[in-house]
Each structure stands twice: as structure tokens, then as C-alpha cells.
Amino acid sequence: MGSIFMAFLIGGALCLIGQLIMDFTKPAVTPGHILVGYITAGAVLSGLGLYQPLVDIGGTGATIPLSGFGHLLTQGTLKAVEQKGILGALSGGAEAAAAGITAAIVFGYIIAVIFNPKG
């Protein structure tokens, strides 16, 4: 039960930060900017070793926000660098994120083909 509550708390907090950024920078920051910003911030914080503690506390509360995706990319890259050196810097991120990216592309395409927008 504890992990579920912490996921709610950390996940909610990360979304809250996004909301504050959008409300205070209106209209400059769009949802697209938020997505790009979160993945970038997650990747950078992960490189500095600051994101893993958040994952340890929050579980999916830290991995499901898009910053968690950035974290995944960085961790995959760093691990691959240890094994393969410079080649790992190029291959590690895609390997770690392969399932997520493929799922997004394939599900996205299928759903977009099946359903029609409202109106």
C-alpha cells in the first residue's frame, strides 16, 4: 500500500510543478514544451545522480512522468558506456527505451487509424 501512496504523492507533485510552470509562463509554454522540458530535465537530473533517489521513493510516481523516460534513456546510456565505451553512448538509450518508443509508435498509429476525432 505504501508504494501506491508514494506513487500518488510523487507523481502528483511532478504534475503540480508542470502546472505551475504553465500557469506562470502563459502563453509561451505549450504542452509540447512541457513534454520536451520534462524528458530533458529527467535525463539531466539522472546524469547528475539526482533522479534515482526519486524513483526509489516514488516508484511509478517518478518513472511514469516523462522525466522518468529521460531517466531511463540516461541510465541505459550510462550502463552501455560501461560495457561498450563510446558505442554504448549511442546505443544504450534506444535499447533501454525500445519497448516504450515502439509501443508509442505502433499503438499510436493503430489507434489513430481506427478512431476518428470528435465533431
CA angle in degrees (0–180, nearest 5) for 74-72-77: 35
Distance CA 101, CA 65 (A): 15
- Minimal distance in Å, beta carbon 26 to other proteins? 7
Q: Which residue from 52, 53, 54, 78 is in contact with other proteins, where contact means CB under 8 A? A: 78
- Minimal distance in Å, beta carbon 51 to other proteins? 12
Nearest to 41 by CA among 7, 77, 13, 69: 69
Q: Which residue from 57, 73, 83, 95 is in contact with other proteins, where contact means CB under 8 A? A: 73
Residue 54 binds other proteins (CB under 8 A):
no
- Minimal distance in Å, beta carbon 110 to other proteins? 8
CB 62 within 8 A of CB 54: yes
Distance CA 40, CA 61 (A): 17
- Minimal distance in Å, beta carbon 53 to other proteins? 16
Residue 4 binds other proteins (CB under 8 A):
yes
Residue 94 binds other proteins (CB under 8 A):
yes
CB 72 within 8 A of CB 101: no
Please give the grid coordinates belonging to residue 55. 524513483
* Residues between 9 and 48 that touch other proteins (CB under 8 A): 9-23, 26-27, 30-32, 34-36, 38-40, 43-44, 46-47
